[in-house]
Structure 1
Amino acid sequence: MQQKQIINVLMNLKEDADKQYKATLKGIFGSYARGEAKEDSDIDILVEFRKNATLLDLAGLGNFLEEKLQHKVDLVSQNAVREEIKPYLYSEIIYL
């Protein structure tokens, strides 16, 4: 799947992610954002969960997105990004 296709799919799923999984899809980063993805690359997605979200919401959202994208995803909570990684992540993120 190409970068533009991924972004389009995720844009169309933002409302479902919010309603069903208490999450805001923020953007993609990593190899797909840099245009360096290979066949076995996962899609790195930055997500912001509401305070009342649970681990079931996280797992459910991951499964939901993998099903819709037909590809392995790696969800990263915006609140869990370590300070030393933030400059790298935010320099390459493609916001939705």
Structure 2
Amino acid sequence: MPNLEEIKRILAEHKEKIRENYGVQIIGIFGSYARGEQTELSDIDILIELEKPIGLKFFELYDYFENILGTKVYILTLESLRQKSLLLESMKEDLIYV
């Protein structure tokens, strides 16, 4: 199980290749690893910003991250986060609590 410093080092070493091959502009770590609360069962939560949508190459990117980090990852894009935020705000307007 890698620690946060190892994860940051590995991602920094591969950052240029990830940018060139997949158009990833920003890479961030969040969740249990960022808080120092990871366990043996934790995946590494990664936030990325893409230059443009990459379609099915997203699965290739997923595998790439898991291969270089040696563990399961969860990838969230800034765009999907923005869309979820808008959806949540829209839902709040119509939400009926039971």
The TM tier, using the shorter chain, reads 0.7 to 0.9
Higher relative contact order (CA 8 A, sep 6+): 1
With 55-64 and 69-78 compared, the bigger mean Cα shift is at 55-64
Greater radius of gyration (CA): 2
Report the count of equivalent residues: 83
Letter aligned with residue 26 of structure 1? I
User: Who is 1:41 aligned against?
Assistant: 42
SS of residue paired to 1:55: coil
Letter aligned with residue 40 of structure 2? E
After the TM superposition, which parts of structure 1 deviate over 3 Å for at least 4 consecutive aligned residues?
A: none
CA RMSD of aligned residues (A): 1.4
Percent identity over the alignment is 36
- Structure 2: distance between partners of 1:24 and 1:72: 21
Please identify which structure carries the higher helix content. 2
Conservation of the 8 A alpha-carbon contact between 1:18 and 1:24:
yes
Gaps of 5+ in 1: 85-96
Letter aligned with residue 72 of structure 1? K
- Structure 2: distance between partners of 1:48 and 1:57: 14
TM-score, normalised to structure 1, is 0.79
